[in-house]
Structure 1
């Protein structure tokens, strides 16, 4: 049945029109043939002698009546099927309008083939895409609620503890420090959500201009010096002088995120390697660490919103919102570039960004 549908859809428009005209001619020929013999029989039975012109006019009139009668009967017979067809389409669209996206009209049904095949396929595709969007929306709400609930629980718990008059000054300062840290975490989560929403809606201001990529990377490395010195990390930087056309402020967020992550996940006394070179595809930046690495199944989802991968890994390195890499990917894509990750568990990770020159 599927093969016949494809064959029908491949027929040229002129061929389909010619076929319809031929069917009309055959129907007309049959009607007028019946009208000719019927008129002849009636006149013979009545004993009437009509000249050629009146007889031809009567034959034409009877033929037209037969065509109208046949089309009326066909319409009456076909009407219930047409009503059932459109009722099913209407019911499917009403389900979609009410938020039920589990709609899948059977494209193998003969009624949904031919000229309606594309229309039915569009309805099914619309329902499928709306279902995916609804799933993403529910996941986003669940993830945001979870991320917000954790710091709020800490703030509420320590705020209640501070009401204890028996606490020492040192304990009060420590609890207030935790409250301040969790408040900053909430603020950062809010900022990242707004940033990601702006990038995904394509309302983010994008002002590309010539930018020295090597200078920008070197400045980020220097800005992170307290962090990598604190962990006694060995740092190797190999930057080729490179100019790209980019929004410098947006790209800065990419490098800050990648280098901060590399420092955060690299153990004390480990090493980092940051390189910039030119390839046939464009400017290539690599940030390599000697951290615990990323499991293969996590590498497939590491750029998703709120995805944190190995929970033991995130606990040992400090909790984040899981939005940094998602933001980095959106910014890189905005620059018509790409971002990849290569990693082995226990052997570190390399994040690679390629930007057009």
Structure 2
């Protein structure tokens, strides 16, 4: 269909040129005939033909110049505007939206002009660059905030330690705070490095068959000191399930989810971990009886640095990167993760993971 439309367009242009030539030659014929009649002169047929042809081409040139005079300024203005827009884009200005009326005639849409497609392409590029720039600015702002807060505490308490009148109890308390903040910075650095490596796809990705139920039970037992300290009732129901995945990467995902559940579950609360299979998928659900997550926050819970309660997250040392890492790892395995929660009743994260399908490394951002 596009090829036929293009051929018709070329044919129409050729017909217009031929018509212009015919009109020019016709005008030349009648003008020279009138001149010959007034001069009472009858030139040789060949000479008359050459004069008519030359005059006809002269008229055709004038018509072409007149038409070009009306068309070229529009095109020159378009290219000037486009070049200026590209210069602004190269300087980091993404608040640009080119508009051109090549696609309209008398208020009605017509066949798409190549210039219109070019403008649409530039506008789409600017919109994508603007979105990426906003994400970059938000990311830098979040990183600066997450790094700045513990550094401020460390500097403040380090200065306080210079006071020789401090008793041992105060000194030990200040040193504990400094140690805690340093640990927080170290975890933040580790998580940022993990995300950077996962995004760049340089992380070794080695899927292989292994027992997922054994992995989950092993990791839950490794976390026993944390949930025992809070007197949390841990319940595990795991069917025998074998998956084809990167065991190390999935281990990181389960650890993040388990630590997240333990952190936000109050003392004497409960956490349940279940594993089952349905068709060609493994289904892992980690549910807690914490404070829950508001519905509007659930839509952004997997965004980097997003925290549902920043003050509460700060008291438990959260950076807002753990769930982003889990989301990225599940996507790399062609799986998915979802959250279900009600405020005051707890939260449940459900991970769907392929069983036998060859795991592949995804490139989408979380």
CA distance 1:302–1:320, change in 2 (3 Å): same
Question: Is residue 81 of structure 1 aligned with residue 78 of structure 2?
Answer: no
Q: Tell me by how many angstroms 1:123 deviates.
A: 1.0
Three-state SS of the structure 2 residue aligned to 1:101 is coil
Q: Which moved more, 1:214-223 or 1:241-250?
A: 241-250
Aligned Cα RMSD in Å? 2.1
Q: Tell me by how many angstroms 1:269 deviates.
A: 1.3
CA distance 1:315–1:83, change in 2 (3 Å): closer
Partners of 1:99 and 1:10 in 2: CA distance: 38
Q: Tell me by how many angstroms 1:142 deviates.
A: 1.1
Partners of 2:67 and 2:184 in 1: CA distance: 72
Q: Deviations over 1:212-239 (max 9, x none)?
A: 2111111110110111111111111111
Question: Is residue 327 of structure 1 aligned with residue 320 of structure 2?
Answer: no
**Conserved? CA contact 1:298–1:310, under 8 Å:** no
Q: 2:154 — aligned with what?
A: 155
**Conserved? CA contact 2:102–2:116, under 8 Å:** no
Three-state SS of the structure 1 residue aligned to 2:15 is helix
Q: 2:163 — aligned with what?
A: 164
CA distance 1:134–1:27, change in 2 (3 Å): same
More helix by share: 1
**Conserved? CA contact 1:107–1:121, under 8 Å:** no
Three-state SS of the structure 1 residue aligned to 2:317 is coil
Query: Size of the alignment, in residue pairs?
Result: 348
Partners of 2:14 and 2:239 in 1: CA distance: 72
Task: Find 1:340's aligned residue among 333, 338, 341.
Answer: 338
Residues 27-38 of structure 1 mapped to structure 2, 5 A cutoff: 27-38=20-31
What TM-score does the superposition give when structure 2 sets the normalisation length? 0.89
Q: 1:241 — aligned with what?
A: 240
What TM-score does the superposition give when structure 1 sets the normalisation length? 0.91
Partners of 1:335 and 1:12 in 2: CA distance: 45
Q: Which moved more, 1:328-337 or 1:238-247?
A: 238-247
Q: 2:188 — aligned with what?
A: 189
Q: Give the gaps of 5 or more residues in structure 1.
A: 1-8
Q: Give the gaps of 5 or more residues in structure 2.
A: 106-111, 356-366
Partners of 1:114 and 1:179 in 2: CA distance: 65
Q: Deviations over 1:56-112 (max 9, x none)?
A: 333222222221222123323433332222111111111111111110112556689
Partners of 1:293 and 1:221 in 2: CA distance: 21
Runs of 4+ displaced beyond 4 Å:
107-113
Residues 193-272 of structure 1 mapped to structure 2, 5 A cutoff: 193-272=192-271
Partners of 2:48 and 2:209 in 1: CA distance: 90
